[in-house]
Amino acid sequence: MHRRQLLVALGLAGLTAGCAGVPTSGPVARVSADPGRINPGVEIAPAPPDRNASPGEVVEGFLHAMASWQPDYGVARTYLTERANETWNPSAGVRIYAEGNPVSSTDTGARLVAPIVGTLDAAGSYHQSTGQLEHDFGLVQVADQWRIDSPPEGLIVSEYLFSSAFTRVVVYHWAPGREWLVPDPRFFPRGAYALEGAVRAVTADPPSWLAPGLDHQLLLVGFASAHIDSTGVVQVRLERLGPDLDDVARRQLVARLVWTLRPFENATGVEVAWTDGIPWQVDTYTRAVPLDAFPAADPQDRQTSRQLFAVVGGRVVRAMEGAGGLESIPAAPGLEGVSFAAVRPDALQVAAVTGDRTALVTAPMSEPGSQPVASAIGLRRPHYARQGELWVSDDRGAISAVLADGTWVTASVTGLGDGRVSVLRLAPDGVRVALVIEQPGGTSSVAVGVVSRIGTQLAIEGVRQLSVSDSIAARAVRDVGWRTADTLMVLTTDGHSSIVMSLAQDGSTIAPVGPSGEDNLVEMAVAPGVVPFVRRANGEVLRYNADFRWSTLPATVSSLFYPG
């Protein structure tokens, strides 16, 4: 099968079976896609080595045993020599290698050579990876049985075993102000450890790349245990590593646990206690806190308008689907000559870049009048953050924002190399940001970073570029938007055709969603909980109905967007 066909096939298979591809510059990988309902009891039962197992059979058994969590990976250790057992650390992380690369063995040894398509760090965070895995397992005979004397660092798992043996869990942290949460996807082995790993992650420090954008909360607690009892309550026991937590701190920790543990099958609530104390009482709940508690902590602002807007003939309009295509209802009567625009999440204010792209102005949605807020050369699409800021980039790649008090500030960006930002889209929580980065040679890529706010200083840090290319054709990125709280939609082109990709924020899953046969798609309107749209260069609009099912809406829009 052609590599590009393989990418599409794996993407479609993932959308129906919960798996998708991880394209890097190497082969396509398959990993767990949407977590859905997580069953912590599903496990792959490993077996110790047969007495007369060959070197190849020993290594194959070890690889399968590594993909199944047990306390201290006891079964996997039965494949090792005593010396190897003392040095092997299965908690050091996971390297995921491309499918279709069997172990090469002889009568006296075995080795594995395969492209690496992804890694998990010790905390379960996924990273797109390239490179080659080359490992000789150092087979030796112990009492006439072959054993591994040179195990790999951490775990090595094939794409298939990773997709079946690991599950995706979204861990939540507080955004500054502790009003809403920020998602942080992780992968943990299926089985009993998935629940334990999720609770451990809540009580541990956040990833270093995400930490600058989060609430700086020091939790002096340690994980002791976690299990689901017969009534569905997740019993969490913690150790004190410092002073006791006050009621506010307890509530905030329990809220994070509630959101993190919601997808676990059979879980109905959370009960937290110190190992030497009685269960905490949070709010009016006597003991267990139900998993539907704390709805206001949703990373997606539930008050954000879901109305679609557009720029038509230099004016901002409400865009409505009608029998003849996309119909326009005039809005923001104080604006004209608009090139780009954004609507505040409450749909009461519009921000617009003027026709010559030198001025940023704001105006009421339903009344005449406008107010200039900033000027620069080559301004691009503006964007409102949940925190109340109005962000905008320009042709030079500079990023600026108008703060809630009207102050105009320039945001610093680190991690771009020689590239510059052409598109900026803040996540629903306003903490993470998706970027399209243009390189000097004309290529472009998608990246995710985190917004750091210190006083009136804004910075985008921890920029992580993500690959959306297969091994046949490099794909440039034209636009990006947030489809869910932790999933992107990316408009890409290989120079001949355009296609939209669904991409996890960590790059762990990617799948094409169409449309097919298009070569002139230039812009998307994407937001959580609403229908995605894509604009053609001629102003026509395509509506997403299902994967690879899009319908054309006749229109003449020059820009299309949702509030935010």
Sorted by where each starts, the structural domains of the chain and their CATH numbers stand as 3-166 (no CATH), 168-297 (no CATH), 309-561 (2.120.10.30)
Q: Which two tokens stand for residue 457?
A: 């200083």
What's phi and psi for 110, nearest 5 deg? -160, 145
Closest CA to 399 of 341, 356, 457, 445: 457
Residue among 500, 462, 461 at smallest CA distance from 478: 500
Rounded average pLDDT over 366-386:
95
The CA distance from 314 to 337, in Å, is 4
Whether 296 has a pLDDT exceeding 80, the answer reads yes
pLDDT computed for residue 552 by the predictor: 96
Q: Is the pLDDT of residue 404 over 80?
A: yes
The string of DSSP letters for 480-498 reads EEESSSSEEEEEEE-SS-E
Average the pLDDT over 60-76 and give the result: 93
Q: pLDDT over 70 for what percent of the chain?
A: 92
pLDDT at 40: 58
Instruction: Give the range among 15-29, 96-110, 210-224, 513-527 with minimum mean pLDDT.
Output: 15-29
Count the neighbouring beta carbons within 10 Å of the beta carbon of residue 526. 28
Q: How confident is the model at residue 470 (pLDDT cuts 50, 70, 90)?
A: low
The reported pLDDT for the residue numbered 35 is: 43
Q: Is the pLDDT of residue 2 over 60?
A: no
Would you tell me how many other CB atoms lie within 10 Å of the CB of residue 487?
18
pLDDT for position 218: 77
User: By mean pLDDT, which of 12-16, 139-143, 349-353 is the weakest?
Assistant: 12-16
- Distance between CA 223 and CA 412 in Å, rounded? 37
Would you say 213 and 182 are in contact if contact means Cβ atoms under 8 Å apart?
A: yes
Q: Helix, strand or coil for residue 354?
A: strand
Work out the number of other CB atoms within 10 angstroms of the CB of residue 501: 22
pLDDT at 436: 96
- Asked if the model's pLDDT at residue 121 lies above 50, the reply is yes
217 has pLDDT over 90: no
Confidence (pLDDT) at 28:
34
Partner residues linked to 413 by β-bridges: 460
Phi and psi (nearest 5°) for 74?
-60, -40
pLDDT beyond 60 at 463: yes
Q: What is the pTM of this model?
A: 0.90
The rounded distance, in Å, linking the Cα atoms of 483 and 399 is: 23
Provide mean pLDDT across the span 458-478: 83
- Averaged pLDDT of the chain: 90
**Mean pLDDT, to the nearest integer, of 60-68?**
94
Per-residue pLDDT at 380 exceeds 50: yes
Rounded-to-integer distance, Cα 500 and Cα 524, Å:
9
Looking at residue 473, its pLDDT comes to 57
> Which of 213-222, 233-242, 275-284, 423-432 comes out lowest in average pLDDT?
213-222
Q: What angle do CA 336, 338, 340 make, to 5 degrees?
A: 155
Residue 34 has pLDDT above 50, yes or no: no
**Tell me, what's the pLDDT at 23?**
30
Phi, psi of 105, rounded to the nearest 5 degrees: -130, 155
Q: Which residues of 432-449 are buried (b: 16+ CB within 10 A; e: fewer)?
A: bbbbbbbeeeeebbbbbb
Q: How far apart are CA 296 and CA 282, in angstroms?
A: 16
- And the tokens for 336? 């004209």
Average pLDDT over residues 207-222: 90
Q: Which pLDDT score is estimated for 9? A: 34
- In whole angstroms, what separates CA 323 from the centre of its chain? 37
- List, for residues 299-321, the tens digit of each pLDDT value: 999 999 999 999 999 999 999 99
The per-residue pLDDT for 468 is 86
Task: Name the residue type at position 493.
Answer: T
Element (H, E) at 523: strand 521-525
Q: Can you tell me the distance from the alpha carbon of 174 to that of 517, in angstroms, rounded to the nearest whole number?
A: 43
Is pLDDT above 50 for 511? yes
Q: Can you give the pLDDT at residue 4?
A: 30
3-state DSSP assignment of residue 265: coil
- In this prediction, residue 36 carries a pLDDT of 58
Tokens 């042709």, residue located: 395
Helix 247-261 and helix 192-203, axial crossing angle in degrees, nearest 10: 140
pLDDT of residue 38: 78
Query: d(Cα 379, Cα 435) in Å, to the nearest integer?
Result: 16
Task: Provide the phi-psi class of 419: left if phi over 0, else alpha when psi is between -120 and 50, else beta.
Answer: beta
Rounded Cα–Cα distance for residues 311 and 559 (Å): 5
